[in-house]
Each structure stands twice: as C-alpha cells, then as structure tokens.
Structure 1
Amino acid sequence: MLVDALPGTTLFDLGGLQDELESLLGIPVDLLTPADLPPKFRAKVLAEARPV
C-alpha cells in the first residue's frame, strides 16, 4: 500500500499503521511512501495509484 504520509510521521507511526491494517484485513500488508519507491518504477506506480 502506498501511503502519502503527513510531515512529522515517524517510522513508528507507519509501523503501527501497518500492524493495524494487517489486523483489520487479515493479510500481510507492505507500506511504502512515494519516496520509498525505486526511481525506475516510481512514475508508473504513482500514475496507477488509486486512493482508498
């Protein structure tokens, strides 16, 4: 899941969100921010991203 984190969001915040989503959905979840995307794929992923 691609997360557009607000300024000040910490890795602990993202880890907590990941744990909560995994608990709610019952499946493993990977969280990334746009900056975490490899440059090779960033433009394509951002163009195809859908808000949830």
Structure 2
Amino acid sequence: MKPRLPFEHIYHEEVYEQNPEKMKQELRSYNEVIREYYRERTQGVRADTWTE
C-alpha cells in the first residue's frame, strides 16, 4: 500500500499548523518514506519525492 501524507497535513479546522519548522520536518520525513516506496516498487527507476 502506498504511504499517505500524514492526516494533519491535509485536514485543518479553521487554522493551519502554527509551527512551520515542525511542518517542514514532517514533510522531509514523508519525502524519505515515499522516495523509498518508489525505489522499491520500481527497482530503483523512480526515486522522486512528494515535494518535488
């Protein structure tokens, strides 16, 4: 199953995350997860990230 972007990055009620560094760090972590997913699924052909 393809990893999904963390719920707190897509669902907000009236305000967005107030700590931009926390959001950036979580996106960096997700980028690594999705990059590894693509590498494994395509035998190394694809290795892009969500933020690319």
**TM-score w.r.t. length of structure 2:** 0.39
Larger radius of gyration: 2
TM-score calculated relative to the size of structure 1: 0.39
